[in-house]
Amino acid sequence: MKGDISPQLAAGTLLFSGYGEDYLQLHDTRYNHSLIIHHNTPSAWAPTRLEALEIAHFAPLLERPPEVLLLGTGRTTRFPDAAILDWMAEHHIGFECMDSRSAARTYNILIEEGRTVSIAMLLPGIG
């Protein structure tokens, strides 16, 4: 039996198409700064390093919380302050930390599976 098992993505669905030490790429658009994608809308994200993260950086997620938030932490997997982890748990937002390259790949997979996922990314070369 033959059949196309490729996911049917809505037109305009953003997926990572590349990354380097100092950029993230969504389709043909390169971003040279930290980035958050929430409900398929990319926005510049203020923190430039993990130590600068504050709960306020995640507050916009509360209007329409994702099923899961991926946090790309730069070159290596690191974890934010415990207060941020507690805040995510309080608001029932699944939260995964991983290096930014892995986070980009995981985001694409989850989007292709039809999951409600958001991602906050520090540049891959940080850390």
Residue 82 has pLDDT above 90, yes or no: yes
Contact 106, 64 (CB under 8 A): no
For residues 96 and 77, give the distance between their C-alpha atoms in angstroms, rounded to a whole number: 10
Residue ranges making up the domain that contains 112: 36-121
Tell me the per-residue pLDDT of 57-80, one tens digit each, with 9 for 90 and over: 999 899 899 999 999 999 999 999
CATH number of the structural domain spanning residue 61:
3.40.1230.10
Specify the number of domains making up the chain. 1
Classify residue 25: in a domain, yes or no. no
pLDDT at 12: 79
Nearest to 100 by CA among 33, 27, 29: 33
Token pair, residue 43, equals 């926005």
Contacts of residue 125, Cβ cutoff 8 Å, sequence gap at least 6: 20, 21, 22, 74, 75
pTM metric for this prediction: 0.89
Classify residue 6: in a domain, yes or no. no
What percent of the chain lies above the pLDDT cut of 70? Answer: 93
What would the mean pLDDT of 37-57 be, rounded to a whole number? 94
Q: The sheet that has 94-98: what strands, in order across it?
A: 41-44, 35-38, 117-121, 68-72, 94-98
Q: Is the dihedral of CA 57, 63, 65, 66 positive or negative?
A: negative
